[in-house]
Amino acid sequence: MNHILVAENVSKKFGEHTALSNISLEIPENCIYGLLGPNGAGKTTLIRIINQITHPDTGRVLFDGMPLAPEHIATIGYLPEERGLYKSMKVGEQALYLAQLKGLSKAEAKKRLKYWFDKLEIGDWWNKKIQELSKGMAQKIQFIVTVLHEPKLLIFDEPFSGFDPINANKIKDEILELKKNGTSIIFSTHRMESVEELCEYIALLHQSEKILDGRLTEIKKAYKNNIFNVGLQVNGNADGLLKELTEKFAISSSSYDRSIDQLHFTMQLPSDETTLVLNHLAAKANVNHFEEVVPSANDIFIETVNGKGA
């Protein structure tokens, strides 16, 4: 598999403060890569290094197999978290300016802008000033400007902030379409549900170190603890059955719903005994429900960060 971006032992200090410590990452081509971590973990610094806004103290970054160089700027698109536009400049003029700074010719930029403005239904904004637009509207312009030069690598830092749910969905669809067309995407966010939805790979930074990375499904698999949610039909004998099971298994958070005569609990199983346990349960009562608990990205995030932070 080709990697669009490889970071090797990247470290960065600001005075006494260490922003990144020995970070190594491999970001596969044509995937959506989630860059996660609590505030101040070093995500923005890493992104700025990829954009060549700052430079690492040690280590190196390879873009498409080559050491990162100024000419790569035109093939990267970056939507920063702290973003904005010139307030008193007209939308069209501003978009043209930013596109030209990325190396597009004026004519080409105009053509593509027309396409995108029509696609996002904002064609009539061309001569408006940014200060006349709402925040969400300005965000759309910002998104277009980021993707306009058709970069190989797109970096989105909290791309959905400032959008209402409808427009956030629209932008999400655009991101997925970009990915389908071959773009690699780095996606930095705090919103775990969108990580779950979009990312194939993630890396988790905490206190300037990488504490976790890999394919999201594999990470989830690794974080499973053989915990199962169970629901049993017990014919009124809830207390007796629970007592009996508690002696044999590690059972927690049990509850009994009298109206439907159902006992709920979570149990931790010793590995490789799933079938055995299920048979045992089936002999005692009617099993309505037997499901392994897969940790969400959110759980993994909190667990890892707390585990490391403590």
Partner 1 sequence: MNKLKLIIKREYLAKVRNKSFVIMTFLSPILMVGMIVLIAYLTKVNDSEKRVITVLNESDYFSNAFNITETLSYIDFKDLTLNEAIDSTLAMENYGLLYIQKAPDLETTATQAFLYTKESPVSYVIESLETIFQNRLRQGRLQRLGVSAKDFSEIDTDFEIKTATFQGDTNLKGINEIKAGIGGAFGYLIMMFIIIYGGFVMRSVIEEKTSRIIEVIISSVKPFQLMLGKIIGTSLAGITQFAIWIISASLLLFVAMLLLDIDLTALNSNPGLPVNAMTNVGNLPQGTANNMQLYAQELFKIPWVLLVCSFVIYFVLGYLIYSSIYAAIGAAVDNETDTQQFIFPIILPLMLAIYVGFFSVFSNPHGPIAVGFSLFPLTSPIVMLMRLPGGIGDGGVPLWQFLTSIVLLIVTFLAIVWLAAKIYRVGILMYGKKPTYRELFKWLKY
* Residue number with CB closer to partner 1 (157 or 174): 157
The tokens describing 54, both together, are 């700052």
C-beta separation of 148 from 181 below 8 A: no
Name which of 228, 165, 216 is nearest 192 in CA terms. 216
Provide CB contacts within 8 A for 158, sequence distance 6+.
Answer: 81, 188, 189, 190, 191
Burial of 246 (0-12, 13-18, 19+ CB in 10 A): middle
Rg for the chain, CA atoms, rounded:
25
Residues 60, 6: Cα–Cα separation, whole Å: 8
Instruction: Give the integer Cα–Cα distance in Å for 273 and 203.
Output: 32
Beta carbon nearer to partner 1, 73 or 302: 73
Helical spans, DSSP H, in 122-237: 135-147, 165-180, 192-198, 216-223
Strands 66-67 and 58-63 come out as: antiparallel
Least Cβ distance, residue 258 to partner 1 (angstroms): 55
**Minimum distance of partner 1 from residue 56's CB (angstroms):** 12
- Joined together, the tokens standing for residue 241 give 């059955």
**Closer CB to partner 1, residue 76 or residue 300?**
76
Q: What is the closest distance, in whole angstroms, from the C-beta atom of residue 192 to partner 1 in the complex? A: 25
Q: Which is nearer to partner 1, 129 or 215 (CB)?
A: 129
Distance in Å, CB of 34 to partner 1, minimum:
20
Between residues 19 and 234, which has the closer beta carbon with respect to partner 1?
Answer: 19
Nearest to partner 1 of 105, 286 (CB atom): 105
Cβ-contact 260, 238 below 8 angstroms = no
**Closest approach of Cβ 86 to partner 1, in Å?**
6
Q: Which residues bind partner 1 (CB under 8 A)?
A: 14-15, 48, 51, 53, 73, 76, 78-80, 82-89, 97-98, 100-102, 142, 145
Q: How far is the CB of 116 from partner 1 (least distance, A)?
A: 16
